[in-house]
Amino acid sequence: MKGLLAKLPPILKTLTFWKASVELPCTSASSSDVFCNCLPTILCTLSELGCRSFFCRNSSEISTALEAGLDTSELIFAPPMIVGSQLKLATKLGVTKVAFQTEADLARIKQIAPNAE
């Protein structure tokens, strides 16, 4: 718990900075990466402070986000490369938003998870 308390002040300071900064087209203070904020308590705190989307690279990060009490509507499955088994598991867990990098990824998403957003 001591380590967690040490991590919260810099996270809150950074989030406050981003919210007060000029809105840039490719950034948003309302999203977070589960990989960088992997403790359920931190994810819960970010959600309570207004983060509305959380990027998950794999099923483990999805499970961590769900453990933190986040809703699947807040999760975006965004792996570096779409792997069929991970995409199937993500959709089975209720995640419908998927990010992709290539046209091949998009074709895989359409084939495996046709209802993905």
Mean pLDDT lowest for which of 29-33, 37-41, 102-106?
Answer: 29-33
Report the domain count for the chain: 1
**Whole-number pLDDT of residue 52:** 79
Report the percent of the chain where pLDDT is more than 70: 73
**pTM of the predicted model as reported, rounded to 2 decimal places:** 0.74
In a domain, 79, yes or no: yes
- 102 vs 49 pLDDT, higher one: 102
> CATH number of the domain that 89 lies in?
3.20.20.10
In a domain, 89, yes or no: yes
Crossing angle (nearest 10°) for helices 40-48 and 59-67: 60
CA 90 to chain centroid: 12
Contact criterion met (CB below 8 Å) for 43 and 11: no
User: Cα angle vertex 63, ends 115, 76, to 5°?
Assistant: 40
Domain of 75, in residue numbers:
29-112
Contact criterion met (CB below 8 Å) for 77 and 99: yes
Write the DSSP string, 85-99: HHHHHHHHTT--EE-
In a domain, 22, yes or no: no
Residue 92 binned pLDDT confidence (cut-offs 50, 70, 90): very high
For the beta carbon of residue 56, count every other beta carbon within 10 angstroms.
27
In a domain, 17, yes or no: no
